Chain A
Amino acid sequence: MDALFLQILNGLEKGGAYALIAMGLTLIFGTLGVVNFAHGALFMIGAFVAVTMQRIFNFSLEIVDATQKDFLGNPLKVKVPYVIEWFGDGFGGFLIDWSVPLAILLAIPVMMLVGFVMERGLIKHFYKRPHADQILVTFGLAIVLQEIVKYFFGANPIPTPAPSDYRGTIEMAIFGLNLSYPVWRLIYFFFSAAVIAAVFAFLQFTTFGMVVRAGMADRETVGLLGIDIDRRFTLMFGIAAAVAGLAGVMYTPILSPNYHMGMDFLVLSFVVVVVGGMGSLSGAVAAGFLLGILQAFASMNEVKSLIPGIDQIIIYLVAIVILLTRPRGLLGRKGVMED
Chain B
Amino acid sequence: MFGLSQKDTRFLFIVIALTLLTPFLLNPFPTDSALAQFNAGYPALMQRFAIYGLMAIGFNILFGLTGYLSFGHAAFLGIGSYAAVWMFKLLSMNVLPAIILATLLAGLFALVIGYISLRRSGIYFSILTLAFAEMSYRLAYSVFTPITNGETGLQLNLKDPRILDAAPTSASLPVPSLFGLEMNSSWTLDLGPWDFTFNVGYYFCAVVAILGFYLSLRIFRSPFGLMLRAIKSNQNRLNYTGLNSRPYTLAAFVISGMYAGLAGGLLAAMDPLAGAERMQWTASGEVVLMTIMGGVGTLMGPVLGAGFIKYAENIFSKINESILHSWFSWLPDGLEDAVVWVFARFVGEGWHLTLGLMFMIIVIALPGGLVEGGQRIARLFRRKSEDAPSATPAE
With A132-B69, A339-B122 known to touch, is A144 a contact of B139 (CB < 8 Å)?
Answer: no
| Best-buried of A140, A267, A328, A337 by chain B (most CB within 10 Å) | A140
Separation of A318 and B303 alpha carbons in the complex (Å) = 36
| Chain A residues within 8 Å of B, Cβ to Cβ | 35, 122, 125, 129, 131-133, 135-137, 139-144, 146-148, 151, 263, 267, 270-271, 274-275, 278, 308-309, 312-313, 316-317, 319-320, 323-324, 327-329, 337-339
Q: Given that A309-B142, A323-B120 are contacting pairs, would A316 and B359 also be in contact in the complex, using a CB cutoff of 8 Å? A: no
CA distance A275 to B127 in the complex (A): 9
17 more CB-based (< 8 A) A-B contacts, given A135-B288, A143-B352, A320-B131: A125-B364, A132-B292, A136-B359, A140-B356, A140-B359, A141-B356, A146-B356, A148-B353, A267-B134, A271-B127, A274-B124, A312-B139, A320-B116, A323-B128, A324-B128, A328-B124, A337-B122
Expressed in whole angstroms, the Cα–Cα distance for A208 and B122 within the complex equals 32
Cβ contact within 8 Å between B69 and A137: no
Partner of B367, one of A129, A274, A323, A338: A129
* Contact B127 A274, beta carbon cutoff 8 Å: yes
Chain B residue with minimal CB distance to A143?
A: B356
CB-CB under 8 A for A312 and B142, given A140-B358, A143-B355: yes
Is the beta-carbon distance between B119 and A324 smaller than 8 angstroms? yes
Query: Which residues of B are in contact with A by a Cβ distance under 8 Å?
Result: 67, 69, 116, 119-124, 127-128, 130-132, 134-135, 138-139, 141-143, 235, 281-282, 285, 288-289, 292-293, 296, 345, 350, 352-353, 355-360, 362-364, 367
Q: B138: which A residues are within 8 A, CB to CB? A: 309, 312-313, 316
**Assembly CA distance A139 to B120 (angstroms):** 24
Do A320 and B128 form a contact, CB below 8 Å, given A132-B296, A137-B363, A339-B235?
yes
For the residues of B in contact with A, the DSSP-based class is helix
> A338 — which chain B residues lie within 8 A by C-beta?
121-124
CB-defined A-B contacts under 8 Å, sample of 9: A122-B360, A132-B292, A139-B289, A141-B356, A144-B360, A312-B138, A316-B138, A338-B121, A338-B122
Contacts of A144 in B (CB 8 A): 353, 356-357, 360
Measured between alpha carbons, how far is A256 from B216 in the docked complex, in Å?
47
Which 9 A-B pairs give the minimum distances between C-beta atoms? A140-B359, A143-B356, A309-B143, A316-B131, A312-B138, A147-B353, A140-B360, A144-B356, A338-B122
Smallest beta-carbon distance A263→chain B, Å: 8
Q: Which residues of B contact A148 (CB under 8 A)?
A: 353
- Do B359 and A324 touch across chains, with their CB atoms under 8 A apart? no
CB distance from B73 to the nearest CB of A (A): 15
Question: Are B364 and A337 in touch, CB under 8 angstroms?
Answer: no
When distances are taken between beta carbons in the complex, the residues of chain B under 8 Å from A323 are 120, 124, 127-128
Whether the Cβ atoms of A147 and B285 lie closer than 8 Å is: no
- Structural contact, A143 and B350, CB atoms closer than 8 A: no
* A259–B132 CA distance with the chains assembled, in angstroms: 27
Per the bound structure, the CA–CA distance linking A270 and B124 in Å amounts to: 10
Q: Which of B69, B132, B288, B360 contacts A316 (CB 8 A)?
A: B132
What separation, in Å, do the CA atoms of A82 and B132 have in the docked complex? 53
In contact, A140 and B363 (Cβ under 8 angstroms) = yes
> Assuming the A-B contacts A136-B292, A141-B360, A338-B122, are A312 and B127 also in contact, with contact meaning beta carbons closer than 8 angstroms in the complex?
no
Report if A142-B116 is in contact (Cβ < 8 Å); known contacts: A312-B141, A323-B128, A327-B124.
Answer: no
Docked Cα-Cα span, A312 to B141, in Å, equals 9
Task: Provide the bound-state CA to CA distance between A327 and B289, in Å.
Answer: 27
Instruction: Give B355's nearest chain A residue, CB to CB.
Output: A143
Q: Flag if B281 contacts A267 (CB, 8 Å).
A: yes
Report the minimum CB–CB distance from A95 to chain B (whole Å): 34
- Taking the nearest CB of chain B, how far is it from the CB of A132, in angstroms? 5
**Chain B proximity of A312: nearest CB distance (Å):** 4
Q: Which of B124, B143, B353, B364: most chain A CB closer than 10 A?
A: B124
Give which listed residue, A129, A132, A137, A327, contacts B120 with CB less than 8 A: A327
